[in-house]
Chain A
Amino acid sequence: MSFFLVAFLVSTIAAATPLLLAAVGELVVEKVGVLNLGVEGMMLSGAIAGFATAHETGSVGLGVLAAIAAGMAMALLFGVISLSLQANQTATGLALTIFGRGFSALVGARYVGIPAPTLPKLHLGALSDLPVVGPVLFAQDPLVYLALVLLGLVAWGLRSTHLGLILRAVGDQHNAAHALGYPVLGIRYAAVVFGGALAGLAGGYMSLAYTPMWAQDMTAGRGWVAVALVTFAAWRPFWLLVGAWCFGALMYLSLYVQALGLPVPSALLSALPYIGTVVVLVLISRDARRIRLHRPAMLGQPFQTRG
């Protein structure tokens, strides 16, 4: 039995990693008061850029860097349109997702059905060989650990550092932050590009480690789940981890339960993660006070210097 549980946990943590990476990025973006719905598009751009680069150069490391760079470039585009030109953030984010899907499909047409070097799993010697905890904790690929480290850094940074205080101020009251002399637009640009980097990395994780190949729309809605997770977690980093693992487990469970041979229709099981998203969002939004308490007050509002 413990073998099955361990195997299930290993697969769940891997499945949750792209969700976690993208959600941590989006969390920082929303904390400074910007809503970027283009996560799915940035992830797909990262996935194809990472895969293509790894295939052409033969280097996974360069592939990972290219994935990050592609996500940053997409985020910069979003920044120019929604921050500098002050277009509606919701519409710009949606457009970014649509653009990312089409663009990645176009570039990716040449890369369908070919192998590329894969990100190797870590093997930490004796630690990885420990029973139960070894395979769960110490034998995943490096990005799994990186995601957790980033989450910890972001949580600590937002809560306990001066920089975190500035970020939160910009997200909660941008006029006050501006009056204090902080470069509101510059800070928002930096946060948006940071979010893009992590979304791109999440995409790269998909095409270089999770399913090492390129397929059109291979992120299959994970970017949207990441956006939903930030709301689910009510902008609190620890809950982001809980949410990512829950959804990772749910996505994987739908296939796992089938293999158990339980008499549940497979189509219903496939719908489970999406039904879960709806249920969770409904439950969350019932508690309006909690949302109000944690939601960055300036979320989605453009900032304009006056006078």
Chain B
Amino acid sequence: MRRRQFSQLLGGGAALAAAPGLIGQAQAADPLKVGFIYIGPVGDFGWSYQHDVGRQAAAAQFGDKIKTTFVENVPEGPDAEKVMNDLANSGHKLIFATSFGYMNYTLNAAKKHPGVFFEHATGYKQAPNVATYDIRFYQARFVQGVIAGRLSKAGLAGYVGSLPVPEVVQGMNAFLLGMRSVNPKARLKFVMVNSWYDPPKEGDAAKALIDQGCDIITQHTDSPAPLQAAAGRGVKGFGQSTDMVKFAKDFQLSASVDMWTPYYIKRIQDVLAGTWKSGNVWGGFDSGMLTMAPFANMPDDVAAQAKATVADIAAGKNKVFVGPLKDQSGAVKVAAGATMGDGELAGMQWLVEGVEGKLG
């Protein structure tokens, strides 16, 4: 394993020139070299951390047969393409690009290196050597919503969002639908911080929501700051991507936990066996790619209901986005009995009735 600090010394710009060319040349008969690029530091204790858990598990599983490299703090811009080219040039045959904004850069790099397999997390554009993979995060959001709907005295929860992209919109909508499944009058407020990782701003966003009466906080950003800020005000909340309980022992209700490990192991196995194919995987509770941290700091009957909801979703009995669904103006977007398809979900850009505020 080799570790690269992408923009450590001298902050952003000055370090960019340092990354390309640093990664050594591959030697013949080497183990399969697998590269990972992360948007945050592996220590963000959220999104990138959880991808790195997957990488480490794969490295442990395959032992000498593979060699993994990761590059952290890679911005979602042209530099991502440089890093991928660099990994490909240094003999990496399988590259995992783990953030939405790498999409077009991944496709460009893949075009230049037809012999290298690329995997892009949370994107929707495939190519013969580019596969995409994602987790149905919205399933966990629904479960969080059920808990929030039961526990919120004000019937009002707050959602710290990153950017108004479909994944976040799905999350907000699913959270509210979960709340309304137990409290038909529940409402949801949100704040977008325009970043995936900016702890002071994430914390401020949580405070702003609490200051306006939200008594449950959930977050769609990568640091534990919103949960910590909530705990500081005596408000309970949810962790994101990973179990953040050590940051708020008495205030974390649960957390959506991303489990990339099974996917990474399978795809590396495919390359080793020569059976790798492009495709699109969108795994939920049933695939083991999405789990929830232990339900805590809530009454037993609420925890039991949360567990039952997880089971229903995993068994396919609850599809979350099932009509009738109305948008904020009250217009019916999904007819009674109809279920939204994956294609519609992937492009979701409208908010359900009960979510307050405008996108954009």
Chain A residues with a Cβ under 8 A of chain B: 3-4, 7-8, 10-11, 15, 98, 101-102, 105-106, 109, 111-115, 118, 206, 210-213, 215-220, 251-252, 255-256, 258-261, 263, 265-267, 270
Task: Tell me the chain B residues, 173-231 only, with Cβ under 8 Å from chain A.
Answer: 189-194, 197-201, 203-205, 207-214, 223-225, 228-229
Rounded to whole angstroms, the CA-CA distance of A115 and B207 in the bound complex is: 19
Rounded to whole angstroms, the CA-CA distance of A265 and B11 in the bound complex is: 29
Contact B211 A256 (CB under 8 A): yes
A111, A251, A267: the one contacting B194 at CB < 8 Å is: A267
A10, A109, A113, A258: the one contacting B357 at CB < 8 Å is: A258
Q: Which residue of B lies closest to A255 (CB)?
A: B208
Q: Does B356 make an interface contact (CB < 8 A)? A: yes
Q: Which residue of A lies closest to B15 (CB)?
A: A102
Shortest distance from the beta carbon of A122 to any chain B beta carbon, whole Å: 14
Q: Does B49 make an interface contact (CB < 8 A)? A: yes
**Which of chain A's residues have a CB closer than 8 A to the CB of B210?**
7
Where chain B touches its partner, the secondary structure class is mixed
Rounded to whole angstroms, the CA-CA distance of A259 and B213 in the bound complex is: 10
Q: What would be 23 A-B contacts, judged by CB atoms less than 8 Å apart?
A: A3-B213, A4-B212, A4-B213, A11-B207, A98-B11, A113-B46, A113-B223, A115-B247, A210-B203, A213-B228, A213-B247, A215-B199, A215-B223, A219-B200, A220-B201, A252-B207, A255-B191, A256-B208, A258-B191, A258-B192, A259-B357, A261-B356, A266-B192
Q: Which residue of A lies closest to B12 (CB)?
A: A217
Q: Does B323 make an interface contact (CB < 8 A)? A: no
Rounded to whole angstroms, the CA-CA distance of A261 and B212 in the bound complex is: 11
B11, B193, B209: the one contacting A217 at CB < 8 Å is: B11
Rounded to whole angstroms, the CA-CA distance of A257 and B93 in the bound complex is: 48
Shortest distance from the beta carbon of A305 to any chain B beta carbon, whole Å: 36
Contact B192 A11 (CB under 8 A): no
Shortest distance from the beta carbon of A103 to any chain B beta carbon, whole Å: 8
Q: Which residue of B lies closest to A216 (CB)?
A: B41
Rounded to whole angstroms, the CA-CA distance of A256 and B206 in the bound complex is: 10
Number of A-B contacts (CB under 8 A): 129
Interface centre among A216, A252, A259 (most CB of B within 10 A): A259
Interface bits B1-23 vs A (CB < 8 Å: 1, else 0) = 00001011111001000000000
Q: Does B337 make an interface contact (CB < 8 A)? A: no
Contact B41 A113 (CB under 8 A): yes
**Which of chain A's residues have a CB closer than 8 A to the CB of B14?**
98
**Which of chain A's residues have a CB closer than 8 A to the CB of B247?**
115, 213
Contact A115 B246 (CB under 8 A): yes
Rounded to whole angstroms, the CA-CA distance of A105 and B11 in the bound complex is: 8
**Which of chain B's residues have a CB closer than 8 A to the CB of A3?**
213
Contact A261 B358 (CB under 8 A): yes
Q: A215-B199, A261-B356, A261-B357 are in contact. Are A106 and B8 (CB under 8 A)?
A: yes
B41, B43, B200, B212: the one contacting A210 at CB < 8 Å is: B200
List 5 additional A-B contacts (Cβ < 8 Å) besides A220-B200, A261-B357, A266-B360. Answer: A112-B43, A115-B224, A259-B208, A259-B357, A261-B358
Interface bits B217-255 vs A (CB < 8 Å: 1, else 0) = 000000111001100100000000000001100000000
**Which of chain A's residues have a CB closer than 8 A to the CB of B203?**
210-211
Contact B11 A109 (CB under 8 A): no
Rounded to whole angstroms, the CA-CA distance of A266 and B197 in the bound complex is: 16
Q: Does B79 make an interface contact (CB < 8 A)? A: no
Q: Does B171 make an interface contact (CB < 8 A)? A: no
Rounded to whole angstroms, the CA-CA distance of A255 and B202 in the bound complex is: 10
Which 4 residue pairs across A and B have the least CB separation, nearest first?
Answer: A112-B43, A113-B45, A7-B211, A113-B43
**Which of chain A's residues have a CB closer than 8 A to the CB of B46?**
113
Rounded to whole angstroms, the CA-CA distance of A131 and B221 in the bound complex is: 34
Rounded to whole angstroms, the CA-CA distance of A266 and B158 in the bound complex is: 16
Rounded to whole angstroms, the CA-CA distance of A118 and B358 in the bound complex is: 35
